[in-house]
């Protein structure tokens, strides 16, 4: 088989490991249920019992594996590992599902990421007579680990020694978790540029690609750094080293949400629950940001005020929904700081050779903190000596760890693949960053900042008010379920909102949707309007200085004259739109720069309702995974 181009393929998966006193089968399976959003092309488990490794795995969603386990249960055990896969290297088949075993069945491995030099390593193994049972790069690690284990000196950490030996040979981004039939009380894991956290309970230990894997059992976690190996052993506890064997003291932290936060809470879909959580999530993002003298505070800042005052250019770098948050942030950042801002798709950033130096600030937005495109952009920026500020939801993840400053959104877990509360809290975080920079650079007085923060603090109530009015939007969504195309128009901060509305519809309902700057309508897009075409228009406030409100009202008239079905989102009191709106969605009056926080919400609900009416899986859209941890 041919090797993939470097950095293009890999796994975006859920990983669970357990060593303790409970039934490992139940602990691992429960963790996999919580992590299924990370991958649902196949699932598998392995346990060590009676001196042997036993595995079960199956293509498709986790329910398929559960059926296999009901028919052929794994033996009872107190050590196990499990995996949910999002396939990109080797098709989503039974043979490619994890765990993968060494040729002699003595070692089991699960994997997230990509081993870029797997082709050369596979050829080496095949030269030595190893026959491969799958098409994955992961299986290479299993065979190499078994060989390294056989060659490792006798000792209580033999599996960890073998893991370090193998990792020094691997290239790429990966998390590996391994068990050996010869060490029935030990799991070993390694990470490089791919997520892995350790959970510590009472005489039991957990591994997970996300804390959701073990949150039902413990909230005490250990943060693993780059190029580190962790051993969890029933008697010795947690031992962390670097790839060369040097001892490392991991950072401990307490997870600030509980198991109930990862459950649907009575909603049909996680996405509906997360939409409903947005008022609280916004409030949590704002909590504790303003000091007694009116000063703003981020979570971590390793830059001096003078370094921040020296900044003369800002890049905002992100992917997907986070990129749309960045587009909106540009308006606020430039307005409040008077620093020029560019917004870049992370996957394109480093390849166009952007001009960066010590006076450049790169703001990286990532919900998971592990988004590989964004992480590579961050590292390129650091190589060019630029300063980096991260906006992230995942405490202890890679992007904030490698940044010079961090603002955590504190939004809690977001299980649905399509981001909702993640997006709104990223917006609020961007506003806080803009105000923080304006404060440090002396562009705004304390009372001005306090006034804007007061506006921000009113947003949870405004979003709650929008949510209370969504019955008509859900009814509208049901009526649009058969649409083939839906267009979105907006101007100023409403343009990125239009892009986000179109993206949500594509993600969830698989409907062709596009967002346009309303001023571009007559430059081409109006040609696709025909009788009955739904057009969603985000109308700016008529109260703002230099408002383009009248121009957008004219755009509504133009598309309606050509047969469009107009769906208009406008603030309370805007009567100019009434004659031209087939469907009118009201939102509370909100300052112009902050308006996207309220105007986005109806678009989330609309997309969710259309998808549900079409009988689709709202939480896990086809071909998508929550965390894109490879380029």
Burial of 521 (0-12, 13-18, 19+ CB in 10 A): buried
Q: Which residues pair with 45 in a beta bridge?
A: 56, 82
| Predicted pLDDT of residue 587 | 98
Active-site choice (58, 330, 421, 626): 626
Q: Which of 30, 370, 368, 19 is nearest to 198 (CA)?
A: 19
Cβ–Cβ < 8 Å for 580, 586? no
Note the pLDDT of residue 86: 74
The full length of the chain comes to 631
* Dihedral (Cα; 321, 323, 328, 332), 10-degree rounding: 130
316 contact partners, CB below 8 Å, separation of at least 6: 326, 329, 330, 333, 341, 342, 343, 344, 362, 363, 365, 430
Judge contact between 378 and 413, C-beta under 8 A.
no
End-to-end CA distance of the chain: 21
Domains of the chain with bracketed CATH: 14-261 (3.60.20.10), 270-457 (3.40.50.10490), 471-613 (3.40.50.10490)
pLDDT at 631: 64
Q: What residues of the chain score a pLDDT lower than 70?
A: 1-12, 37, 87-89, 257, 259-265, 292, 545-546, 627, 629-631
pLDDT at 261: 65
- The catalytically annotated residue of 13, 125, 319, 430 is 13
Backbone angles phi, psi at 8, to 5 degrees: -115, -20
Token digits of residue 526: 């109006």
From residue 290, give the alpha-carbon distance in Å to each of 305, 441, 519, 543: 17, 17, 38, 28
Distance CA 206, CA 215 (A): 10
Task: Tell me, yes or no, if 167 is annotated catalytic.
Answer: no
**Contacts with 313 (C-beta within 8 Å, 6 or more apart), sequence order:** 339, 340, 342, 359, 360, 361
For 239, 351, 353, 394, 516, the CA distances from 205, given in Å and listed in that order, are: 11, 42, 44, 21, 50
Phi (first) and psi of residue 217, to 5 degrees:
-115, -30
Residue 626 bears catalytic tag: yes
Output the six-digit token pair for 235: 């008697």
Q: CA 104 from chain center: how many Å?
A: 37
The CA–CA distances, whole Å, from 8 to 98, 110, 118, 227 equal: 20, 20, 13, 21
| Chain centroid to CA 387 | 23
pLDDT at 550: 93
Distances (CA, A) of 507 to 87, 292, 326, 484: 18, 43, 19, 14
Per residue in 486-526, pLDDT (tens digit) is: 999 999 999 999 999 999 999 999 999 999 999 998 898 89
**pLDDT recorded at residue 307:** 95
Contact between 309 and 282 under an 8 Å Cβ cutoff? The reply is no
List, as own/partner pairs, every contact residues 440-443 make where C-beta atoms lie below 8 angstroms and the sequence separation is at least 24, other chains included. Answer: 440/305, 440/308, 440/309, 441/308, 441/309, 441/311, 441/337, 442/309, 443/336, 443/337, 443/338
pTM of the predicted protein model: 0.77
The confidence score (pLDDT) of residue 513 equals 96
pLDDT recorded at residue 63? 95
The CA-based angle 181-183-187, given to 5 degrees, is 95
Rounded-to-integer distance, Cα 223 and Cα 397, Å = 8
For CA atoms 624, 625, 630, 631, the dihedral sign is positive
């Amino acid at each position: 088989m041919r090797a993939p181009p470097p950095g293009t393929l890999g796994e975006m998966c859920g990983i669970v490991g357990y060593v303790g006193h409970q039934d490992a089968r139940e602990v691992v399976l429960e963790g996999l249920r919580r992590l299924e959003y990370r991958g649902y092309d196949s699932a598998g488990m392995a346990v060590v019992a009676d001196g042997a490794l036993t595995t079960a795995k199956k293509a498709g969603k986790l329910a398929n594996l559960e059926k296999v386990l009901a028919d052929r249960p794994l033996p009872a055990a107190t050590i196990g590992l499990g995996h949910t896969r999002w396939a990109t290297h080797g098709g989503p088949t039974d043979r490619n599902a994890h765990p993968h075993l060494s040729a002699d069945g003595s070692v089991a491995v699960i994997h997230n990421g990509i081993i870029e030099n797997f082709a050369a390593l596979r050829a080496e193994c095949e030269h030595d007579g190893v026959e491969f049972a799958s098409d994955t790069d992961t299986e290479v690690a299993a065979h190499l680990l078994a060989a390294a284990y056989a060659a490792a000196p006798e000792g209580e950490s033999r599996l960890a020694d073998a893991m370090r030996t193998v990792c020094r040979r691997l290239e790429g981004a990966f998390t590996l978790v391994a068990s050996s039939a010869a060490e029935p009380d030990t799991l070993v894991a390694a990470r490089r540029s791919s997520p892995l956290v350790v959970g510590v309970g009472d005489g039991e230990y957990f591994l997970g690609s996300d804390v959701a894997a073990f949150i039902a059992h413990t909230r005490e976690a250990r943060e693993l750094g780059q190029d580190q190996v962790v051993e969890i052993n029933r008697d010795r506890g947690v031992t962390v080293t670097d790839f060369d064997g040097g001892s490392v003291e991991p950072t401990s932290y307490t997870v600030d949400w509980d198991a109930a936060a990862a459950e649907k809470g009575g909603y049909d879909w996680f996405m509906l629950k997360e939409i409903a959580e947005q008022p609280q999530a916004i409030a949590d993002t704002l909590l504790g940001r303003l000091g007694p003298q009116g000063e703003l505070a981020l979570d971590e800042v390793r830059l001096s005020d003078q370094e921040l005052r020296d900044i003369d250019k800002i890049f905002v770098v992100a992917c997907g929904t986070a990129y749309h948050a960045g587009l909106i942030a540009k308006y606020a950042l430039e307005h409040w700081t008077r620093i020029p801002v560019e917004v870049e798709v992370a996957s394109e950033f480093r390849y166009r050779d952007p001009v960066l130096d010590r006076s450049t600030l790169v703001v990286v937005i990532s919900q998971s903190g592990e988004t590989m495109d964004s992480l590579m952009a961050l590292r390129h920026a650091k190589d060019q000596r630029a300063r980096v500020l991260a906006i992230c939801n995942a405490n202890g993840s890679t992007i904030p760890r490698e940044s010079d400053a961090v603002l955590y959104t504190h939004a809690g877990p977001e299980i649905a693949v399509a981001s909702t509360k993640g997006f709104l809290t990223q917006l609020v975080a961007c506003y806080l960053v803009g105000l923080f920079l304006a404060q440090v650079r002396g562009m705004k007085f304390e009372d001005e900042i306090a006034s804007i923060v007061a506006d921000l603090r009113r947003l949870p109530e405004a979003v709650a008010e929008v949510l209370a009015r969504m019955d008509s939007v859900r009814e509208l969504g049901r009526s649009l379920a058969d649409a083939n195309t839906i267009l979105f128009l907006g101007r100023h901060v409403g343009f990125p909102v239009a892009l986000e509305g179109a993206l949500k519809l594509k993600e969830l309902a698989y409907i062709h949707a596009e967002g346009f700057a309303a001023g571009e309508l007559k430059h081409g897009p109006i040609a696709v309007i025909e009788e009955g075409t739904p057009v969603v228009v985000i109308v700016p406030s008529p109260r703002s200085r230099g408002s383009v409100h009248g121009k957008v009202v004219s755009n509504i008239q133009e598309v309606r004259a050509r047969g469009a079905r107009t769906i208009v989102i406008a603030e309370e009191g805007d009567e100019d739109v009434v004659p031209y709106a087939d469907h009118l969605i009201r939102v509370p009056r909100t300052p112009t720069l902050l308006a996207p926080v309220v105007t986005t919400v109806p678009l989330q609900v609309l997309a969710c309702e259309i998808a549900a009416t079409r009988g689709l899986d709202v939480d896990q859209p086809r071909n998508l995974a929550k965390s894109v941890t490879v380029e």
